[in-house]
């Protein structure tokens, strides 16, 4: 099958207003992609001010069913995480951004992480479904959620990846992964 024939490539318009909008969307997408990279580096560097700068003042982060909102709560949460993990390496894989208007967008980031936790090398694959907002001409996270495909000790990767209970924190019972089994398409693709 010819993939080029199936791909829709937006054409640049001759209308200057439309061109300005297209350039604005491209600039927003680039800034939001940079935001994600800066966030991951700030987390890995234990740069709490850098992490907070990535969030709107009333921004929120959701992880494992719990949500923290606002810079004060986000600071406490991230300091706790930074104290918990000795070393982390977050690597973005893909990023899809949909710009709404000049001040709002949504997106999904996929990535992998290596985490040193309680003397154990952990491996993780995740998605961040995000809502972005432009504040004082800077794109920031309005809402960021963390969904795991797996998080498991590296030494257990081969046996863990084949089943649904792929969330395996040290000293905690295994839990079913957030994705892909929880997605509606996982159950309906044969319909």
Does residue 167 form part of some domain? yes
Please tell me whether the overall predicted TM-score, pTM, comes out greater than 0.75 for this model.
yes
Of 183, 22, 170, 8, nearest to 84 by C-alpha is 170
In a domain, 143, yes or no: yes
3 belongs to a structural domain:
no
pLDDT at 10: 58
Identify whether 6 is part of a domain.
no
Residue-by-residue pLDDT tens, the chain, 191 positions: 333 344 455 565 667 778 888 888 999 999 999 999 999 999 999 999 999 999 999 999 999 889 999 999 999 999 999 999 989 999 999 999 999 988 999 999 999 999 999 899 999 999 999 999 999 999 999 999 999 999 999 999 999 888 899 999 988 999 999 999 888 888 887 77
Q: 85-101 and 104-117: which strand pairing?
A: antiparallel
Predicted local distance difference test score (pLDDT) of residue 6: 44
Is residue 89 one of the residues assigned to a domain? Answer: yes
pLDDT value of position 4:
37
State the pLDDT at residue 43: 97
Rounded distance, CA 27 to CA 16, Å?
A: 16
Residue 5, in any domain of the structure: no
Residue 7 lies in a domain: no
> What is the domain-level CATH number for residue 50?
3.10.450.50
Q: How many domains does the chain have?
A: 1
Segments forming the whole domain that contains residue 101: 13-188
Q: Evaluate whether residue 66 is within a structural domain.
A: yes
Q: Which residues contact 60 (CB under 8 A, 6 or more apart)?
A: 67, 68, 69, 70, 74, 142, 143, 144
């Amino acid at each position: 099958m010819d993939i080029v024939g199936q791909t829709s490539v937006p054409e640049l318009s001759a209308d200057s207003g439309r061109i300005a909008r297209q350039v604005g969307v491209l600039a927003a997408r680039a800034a939001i992609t940079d935001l994600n990279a800066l966030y991951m580096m700030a987390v890995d560097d234990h740069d709490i001010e850098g992490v907070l700068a990535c969030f709107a003042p009333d921004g929120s982060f959701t992880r494992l069913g719990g949500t923290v909102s606002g810079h004060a709560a986000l600071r406490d949460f991230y300091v706790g995480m930074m104290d918990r993990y000795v070393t982390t390496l977050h690597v973005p894989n893909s990023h899809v951004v949909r710009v709404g208007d000049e001040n709002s967008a949504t997106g999904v980031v996929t990535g992998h992480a290596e985490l040193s936790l309680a003397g154990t090398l952990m491996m993780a694959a995740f998605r961040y479904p995000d809502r972005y907002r432009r504040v004082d001409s800077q794109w920031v996270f309005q809402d960021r959620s963390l969904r795991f495909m797996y998080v498991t000790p590296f030494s257990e990767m081969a046996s863990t990846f084949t089943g649904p209970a792929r969330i395996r924190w040290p000293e905690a019972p295994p839990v079913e992964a957030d994705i892909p089994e929880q997605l509606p398409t996982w159950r309906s693709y044969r319909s």
